[in-house]
Structure 1
Amino acid sequence: MKEINYIIDEPLPITQDFKSLKQEGLAHIQEVSGNEWTNLNSSDPGVTILDQLCYALTELGYCNDFSINDILTNADDKLIIKDQFYLPKEILTTAPVTINDYIKYIVDEVDEVENVIIVPKQSSLSYSKGTYSVYLSTKPIITNSIAIATICQTVFYRLNKRRNIGELFLMPLQLEKVIYTVSGILQLNNEAEKNTTLASIQNKIRNYIFPKAIQEEDNQLLLEGENSDTLYNGPEMRHGWISNENLGKKKNTITTNNLITLLLTVENVFNVQNLKINNTENNDTATATLTQIISFDLSQLEITYTNTKNDNEENKIQSLDLSFDDSIDSQTSLPTGTFRDINSYYSIQNTFPDIYAVGANAINSNASDFQIAQSRQLKGYLTLFDQILANQFSQLANVPQLFSFKNGITGTPSELQKFYATKTPNEKIHLEYPVPFLCFAPTYFYQPLYSIPNIKPLLKNNNAFNFSLETRTKNVAEEMSWKKFKEDPYNAYIKGLQDLIEDESINLKRRNEMLDHLLARHGESPLLINSIIEGSIYTGNSSKDKIIIKSLYLQNLGLLSYYRYQGYNYLGAKKIENLKKDIPLNLEQLLIDVSSVRFYLEPEDNFNIPKNEKFENDFIFNTNKVDQIEKTRKQDFINYAALELKTTILLSLKTPYINHLECVLSTIDENECTQCKNTSQENAKCKTCINQLEQIHQCLWFLKERKGFICIENCLLYPTANSIIITQSTLEGPYYTIEDSLNYPETISLYMLLENPTETTINAKTEIDLSSTQTSIVINDTISYNLSATAFNDESANWTKITCNEVDYFITMYQKKISENNDTTKTITLIFPDYISYFTNDYFKNRLELLLENTLPIDVTYNYQFASQKTLCDLIPAYINWHNDITFNNLAYKKTTETANALINILTNS
């Protein structure tokens, strides 16, 4: 349908009402000039100037009323989204947090799984808290044991990939079928429909016992009025949203009445008689435990038929096993806008009558010097208004930059684009944007007015390029000179505009306030963020540092918010490189290593690079480079907990290390040690040199491998250490140590077997099969976990028989040493080097505690340590060995006791 344009006769806003603007202007003139200005008619030149300015203001007012969609639309008619807004799926969703979240996540991620049961592991064992058992309901067509094992492995990996900090998931198991035989008479309408009807009955029963989680299309739900906050509350779903109501609950009890009701709802079932559930006490109830699922064998049903027959194809029963289209497009549609070239400015001098001699054709070659002087004098007066108006248009055009997560680098973006547009591809390869155009996080924008007719003579140093080695005509020479002047970012006009517009203190204050607004708009408390980052260092200027850190946090908020409580993926994290132990005698190589950390580049890329070149250009801080270096990626959440990445940004942990490294390097002479006075070849014998070089290696390792600190989750550390059994006979022993090291799932499984009240006896010859899910301990010739008597208080302790009823504690020896009564599982330990003074002052500790208390889940506790250089020499290698061991050897069930014990020893004794 063709759009019809028409004008509604209603009052204009004053910003677009020429008459109202002119009346206000005249009133102001009369108030200021008094009796000095008496002719306020249109014939007066001053009133003519007022007319032109009012017309220009109505244009600005018109542009100010553009919709925000139009203002945020690029020249290619695409809305500017990046670094402006987060889409609902990016900012409202979170990685799984609750049990229901994890169920939805697995159903969406693993096609073969129809529903999931996740329950906390019930045990008095302290480090089993935060541990979850998982039971799967898979598609009925999957019966192969190898396929089921593969599905369980897949779910195990996916769950621990998205586990919350301080929590773990045990290896999932398929729900065990408890089969009951059903007998009775089933009367059908049609013999031809027998097989289809029986299949429909099985589907109906299966969906009643444990329904398949139902996924719905997001877009359709939004159209139907579903609240977006509800729709996106939980993990991002690939195949459609699952409401809590559509998750379905497993039924552990089914009666004959339930079955009869179900059967009668199936099409083609006419009647049910004498229905009984066999294998039960009263033949009327089927039951199952948490880990079991009820299933019925219908083969014993006697099937009869009525005299009616229905051959209508429309009445045939179809399978209830529905499948969903994997190609559901749940991306919400984005608003659209129209590009408006707001920044383009048309000078008011173009609209004056020719008699004013300020337009393009106002002055000709026959004009006298006096006429030219008059024209230029008026042009200079009008250009002031032109500049103010043009800057206002620039301010409006740069609203996207003004409220961007990223900090701007220039107050005149239009000139930046023109500068690059004039360069050849070869020139652009190593081209840096000229310093005079650069500005740190500008909040006021402007533009030069080279398009004003005959403006060149009014600009300072406009003849700077009036020279050439080539022979040219006067007109060509002037044209070339003018072109070079406009392309020169160092010309006096641009510098004058910059000095006039930009006041750094005002810019910094305004930018901080705008970033606070953006933080609040995304649910982050500016007061809290300011308290945490107060004192974090980047440039040394407190206001600039806050701007840089807030900007970085906002740019990465989408991922940090989504993975807010997530721990690192101990099944898939990258291998941590070893701490260098060799002592390099080449200072140049040390400088290269430090440089590589500063810029996150490979060492070979940093030869001969001055240390500040990447971050500063004539003392203008390069925020774009910082944004690139500090960008958080999805891969980072595999290698680090979200807490680690958030802490690194908000507390700016990189800079203290860099400053310390440079301070240490400045005290080392390449050829002679200031302490031992020996040459570089003998420096390895000097204790001072060794200490300094060890610190350098440790700092480089912290920066390259751990984002500035070590974070250890007790739920991963303690279960892999040596475990002991303490009997009730005495808390002082005897103790029974499990000689074979156990991985985490094995440790929990063994304890659960021991904890149950059975009369099974454990002795030195017993072999324990941890693959058993029963309460008794099964002897197996293939898997053997030996127990031996260990007397911590009695060297003569021998083997005795222990029943499960006598087991008092089953804990790791080091966990007992730290705390026998407190839950140490959901605790994290943060470790920093103590020789960097930035970390050890009370101000940093207070900010760290504030961050941890407002970031960690409420049930996760923390402690932090400041380790000495000597302790770190032992602790870092122990941490590396343990981390790499559980990451790369966990699925192979290689035992990690030795590395875990070594790390715990250092932690508890430091």
Structure 2
Amino acid sequence: MKEINYIIDQPLPITQNFNSLKEEGLAHIQKVSGNEWTNLNPSDPGVTILDQLCYALTELGYCNDFPIQDILTNSDDKLILKDQFYLPEEILTTSPLTAKDYIKYIVDEVSEVDNVVLVPIQSTLSYIKGVYMLYLSIDPKVDDPTSITTICNTVFYRLNKRRNIGELFLIPLPLKKTTYILNGKLEISNEVALSKILSLIESQINNYIFPKVIRENDDQLLLDGKSTDAIYNGPELRNGWISDANLGKKKDYITSQNLITIIGSVEGVINIQDLQINGVKSGDFVTSATYELLSFDLSSLEIIYTNVKNNSLTTSYESLSKIDTSFANLINKGSKLPKGKFRDINSYYSIQNTFPEIYAVGENAINSNASDFQIAQSRQLKGYLTLFDQVLANQFSQLANIPQLFSFKNGITGTPSELKNFYVSKTPYEKEHLAYPAPYLSFSPTYFYQSLYTIPNIKPLLKNNDAFNFSLEARAKSVAEEISWNKFKNDPYNSYIRGLQNLIEDETINLNRRNEMLDHLLARHGESPLLINTVIEGSVYTGNSAKDKIIIKSLYLQNLGLLSYNRFKGYNYLGAKKIEEIKLALPLNIEQLLIDVASVRFYLESEKDSTIPKNEKFENDFIFNTNKVDQIEKIRKQDFINYAALELQLNILLSLKTPYINYLENVLNNLEEKKCTFCENTLQQTEKCQDCKNQLEQIQQCLWFLKERKGLVCIENCLLYPFDHTIVITPSIEKGPYYKLKDSLCYAETLALYTFLENANAITIDTNSDSGEIVLTIDTITYELLSTTQTTSINWKQTATIASDYFFGMNFENSPENSECIETITLLFPDYIPYFNTDYFKNRLDTFLENTLPIEVSYSYRFVNQETLNSFIPAYTDWYNNLIYNNSAYKKTTDTATALFNIINNIPKI
């Protein structure tokens, strides 16, 4: 909004209209005082006071009308955005969901990929949401097989970085170019331009068959009238936005007439005659499979030259090149932000400074010769006026703190100006290490206020103002009074500031107001406050229900940008960090155990934020430190590699850390004097008592859940259960014979073997004439095979060059038995923690999952006892780490996946 710098002759709003405010004030005086106050002329002191108040109110009204960008601009003239607003590209975009989203994402991420064909592979397995195969149109300049393989592997990694829950990707393949020769007569303008004309024809034919994705400038789209919702619908793109219309679609049916039209449209082409596609029976059209890309050889065309000159050829060729070239100089992505200016609204100028001197309330109103009576009169009036000053100053402070009032983060003090003043005179070391005094702290205030130390001669009116009137040094009276006054102002425990805090802040009102504001912020960002309130009802952080709701909603809003963008994303099993094994060694060092449990409360992963000392507390004189919680619970992009978004959401909304911590502390508190409560032996002798041993095992299991899995285990069953696509191998695509592996494979193992075949040095298939056993040998590793029949859906790929006598591909198999009973995801919790195994917790969990997960994603959750966890955790750790770190070499499933599969199947479903 453009600021107006001139006066417009129009009525002022009442908040800025002095005369209107005064008329309302006089009307109120007459209504209340009746016949007691008869002189309402300017000469009356009461009217003078009313004049000063009305004048001050016009200033407040003027500040209230400041543009919102000015109110949100801080002292360095920068707009306050962090924890206030999400930019369009942060909150409207989303990690890829649709096929078009994935195509945009891959083209944007991998510069060598011009376009993509994404093929969904139908799966009858209930626990697989979708299996996809990608075929890549790679830049023709990249023709080295090694480089092409690298590009395919890079795309595969990028896909799994953005893989959604229950979705699977096969390793992408380059589109196989199928070339046909064109015969016919091509008449062009002159011989000199032949190479350019042929190059242009080839480029336009290729662009017609499968066009390169076109990028656009998002700022230009906004100028062209495109809606923000449309522009930012899909994944965030770094190299220019891609609309659905600019994706292009591969054509698998090309007629000779199509080619004639394309060639005839090229500048410099005069005529094309007798065009035929060589090697095709009809000569009129060609078709291609999904994994093929049609291409045409122009070398057999008969070229005829004419004397016609055409100077527009170069321009046309350059124009086409510009269309095919990515935007190289895109301006900064994102909407332009409004520019505001700092207004210093919080600074308050007392009304006592504007009174006539005769009222003796200003800076120089009372001199040293004034009588005690005059001083008493002055102070009496100042005490009366200071009440108005305090109300007005607080209103200015409330307006100045609008950014805090509607911030995602909870405030820590109702008087931010005192916080600022506290650190002004401090050294750099003190500013970094000196904690803000507790008396100024409050939990998420919604009313703001400020001190009135700048009011002239205010000191005598403040209670206990002489508290520092003592010294061991000889000083002049004026110097001693000045030092005493400064100490009083800087004392956070002085009676004035503490009394002001008690008067302004009502915790019950603050908590209700803050909850309502956070509900408003949730709704503004498309989140249902009703759903959030239902889910978090019962989640514990402080033990105070109202405070817990505020903390959790605040944390959710602070992390909503990432949680919203990655809402349905699964974890990246190719890049997640390694899970540490559970420590069950006994006897256990109880001193170290106590330290471990204490450290859990401040995050468990010290490398997460090295600036948070492990021995710091969440409370400061019983004021909950929300800033520390914000640091601890902050979600980072790396977390979405290690965890599914669902796990991170549940961790915040259900406050999963607290039940573990409470349980651990309860168990440790029962161990009196470091002795087992059952056997009275010391904990160093736990082998003698099974109950004692069980307690310590539960402690270690809880620590593992907290440190490694955010309080729960979430298993995507498509990564664990048998996969319904088997690799088929043959020495001849046309003739066979065809073989498949005897053992069923899980998805990860299928991909691992697929990669292994790509890079094999030697492959042989031998049949034992006596037993009939068929054995596949890849380098030095052997696998049993079974004969199978060829399936038309197989897309064959040749093995590594050195072993190029064999081909392999994916074959669709029938679903395993009872696959319809397998859910997409399985959640597991320890059953011995009372908080989890309750109907109340289950209902909240169901409510969240049913309203959050896509309809095609099914789930189950199970509560696991201690004995089962002793076998489950090692099996899960082995399987999880093997999935990440051993995916480049095939490993049979009789160990990790099968072991974990059997354990889970023996845990009852809820």
Decide: shared fold, TM above 0.5: yes
The question of whether the paired residues in 2 share the 8 Å contact of 1:676 and 1:686 is answered with yes
Alignment of 1:348 onto 2:345: no
The question of whether the paired residues in 2 share the 8 Å contact of 1:833 and 1:868 is answered with yes
Task: Give the partner amino acid of 2:151.
Answer: I
Task: Give the partner amino acid of 1:188.
Answer: I
Which residues in structure 2 correspond to 1:392-541 (within 5 Å)?
392-541=395-544
Alignment of 1:864 onto 2:866: no
The superposition leaves residues 773-807 of structure 1 with CA deviations (integer Å, 9 ceiling, x where unpaired) of: xxxxxx9998853148xxxxxxxxxxxx76579xx
Look up the match of 2:379: 376
Look up the match of 1:887: 884
**Cα distance between partner residues in 1 of 2:252 and 2:654:** 51
The superposition leaves residues 531-590 of structure 1 with CA deviations (integer Å, 9 ceiling, x where unpaired) of: 010010001111000000000000000000000010000000000000001135332211
Secondary structure, aligned partner of 1:786: strand
Look up the match of 2:735: none
Secondary structure, aligned partner of 1:275: strand
The superposition leaves residues 56-87 of structure 1 with CA deviations (integer Å, 9 ceiling, x where unpaired) of: 11111111111111100011111100000000
The 10-residue stretch of structure 1 (677-686 or 291-300) with the greater mean CA deviation from structure 2: 677-686
* TM-aligned CA distance change 1:330 to 1:692, over 3 Å: same
**Cα distance between partner residues in 2 of 1:8 and 1:251:** 64
Look up the match of 1:323: 325
Query: 1:428 offset after TM fit, Å?
Result: 2.8
**Cα distance between partner residues in 2 of 1:741 and 1:316:** 54
The question of whether the paired residues in 2 share the 8 Å contact of 1:743 and 1:895 is answered with no
Unaligned runs of 5+ in 2: 729-739, 755-764, 792-810
Compute the RMSD of aligned alpha carbons.
2.8
Secondary structure, aligned partner of 1:341: coil
* TM-aligned CA distance change 1:894 to 1:457, over 3 Å: same
Look up the match of 1:843: 840
* TM-aligned CA distance change 1:627 to 1:742, over 3 Å: closer
* TM-aligned CA distance change 1:780 to 1:186, over 3 Å: farther
The superposition leaves residues 637-660 of structure 1 with CA deviations (integer Å, 9 ceiling, x where unpaired) of: 000000000010000001000000
Query: 1:123 offset after TM fit, Å?
Result: 4.9
**Cα distance between partner residues in 2 of 1:251 and 1:99:** 17
The superposition leaves residues 592-650 of structure 1 with CA deviations (integer Å, 9 ceiling, x where unpaired) of: 101222112568999xx999952001110000000000000000000000000001000
* TM-aligned CA distance change 1:327 to 1:676, over 3 Å: farther
The superposition leaves residues 738-774 of structure 1 with CA deviations (integer Å, 9 ceiling, x where unpaired) of: 3596654738999xxxxxxxxx9999757688xxxxx
The question of whether the paired residues in 2 share the 8 Å contact of 1:885 and 1:896 is answered with no
* TM-aligned CA distance change 1:125 to 1:59, over 3 Å: closer
For residue 750 of structure 2, the aligned residue among 743, 746, 753 is 746
Which residues in structure 2 correspond to 1:603-614 (within 5 Å)?
613-614=616-617
Secondary structure, aligned partner of 1:60: helix
Look up the match of 1:774: none
**Cα distance between partner residues in 2 of 1:559 and 1:70:** 28
Look up the match of 2:244: 244
* TM-aligned CA distance change 1:724 to 1:811, over 3 Å: farther
Look up the match of 1:46: 46
The superposition leaves residues 647-705 of structure 1 with CA deviations (integer Å, 9 ceiling, x where unpaired) of: 10000001000000000111113443232122343233211211111011011110110
Alignment of 1:786 onto 2:784: yes
Task: Give the partner amino acid of 1:375.
Answer: S
The question of whether the paired residues in 2 share the 8 Å contact of 1:567 and 1:641 is answered with yes
The question of whether the paired residues in 2 share the 8 Å contact of 1:767 and 1:780 is answered with no
Which residues in structure 2 correspond to 1:555-566 (within 5 Å)?
555-566=558-569
Query: 1:465 offset after TM fit, Å?
Result: 0.4
Look up the match of 2:59: 59
**Cα distance between partner residues in 1 of 2:471 and 2:608:** 40
Which residues in structure 2 correspond to 1:32-431 (within 5 Å)?
32-124=32-124, 130-310=130-310, 314=314, 317-318=317-318, 320-321=320-321, 322-328=324-330, 329-431=332-434
* TM-aligned CA distance change 1:173 to 1:737, over 3 Å: closer
**Cα distance between partner residues in 2 of 1:545 and 1:581:** 34
Look up the match of 2:736: none
Look up the match of 2:734: none
* TM-aligned CA distance change 1:124 to 1:663, over 3 Å: closer
**Cα distance between partner residues in 1 of 2:256 and 2:604:** 70
Secondary structure, aligned partner of 1:831: strand
Identity %: 68
Secondary structure, aligned partner of 2:363: coil
The question of whether the paired residues in 2 share the 8 Å contact of 1:720 and 1:900 is answered with no
The question of whether the paired residues in 1 share the 8 Å contact of 2:749 and 2:890 is answered with no
Query: 1:723 offset after TM fit, Å?
Result: 9.0
The question of whether the paired residues in 1 share the 8 Å contact of 2:189 and 2:305 is answered with yes
The question of whether the paired residues in 2 share the 8 Å contact of 1:724 and 1:811 is answered with no
For residue 595 of structure 2, the aligned residue among 592, 596, 603 is 592
**Cα distance between partner residues in 2 of 1:33 and 1:572:** 78
Look up the match of 2:906: 909
The 10-residue stretch of structure 1 (581-590 or 72-81) with the greater mean CA deviation from structure 2: 581-590
Unaligned runs of 5+ in 1: 726-735, 751-759, 770-778, 789-800
Query: 1:163 offset after TM fit, Å?
Result: 0.5
Look up the match of 1:28: 28
The question of whether the paired residues in 1 share the 8 Å contact of 2:126 and 2:824 is answered with no
**Cα distance between partner residues in 1 of 2:790 and 2:256:** 39
The question of whether the paired residues in 1 share the 8 Å contact of 2:715 and 2:826 is answered with yes
The question of whether the paired residues in 1 share the 8 Å contact of 2:590 and 2:683 is answered with no
Query: 1:50 offset after TM fit, Å?
Result: 0.6
The question of whether the paired residues in 2 share the 8 Å contact of 1:743 and 1:896 is answered with no
Query: 1:4 offset after TM fit, Å?
Result: 8.8
**Cα distance between partner residues in 2 of 1:140 and 1:499:** 74
**Cα distance between partner residues in 2 of 1:498 and 1:387:** 12
TM-score, normalised via structure 2 length: 0.90
Task: Give the partner amino acid of 2:461.
Answer: L
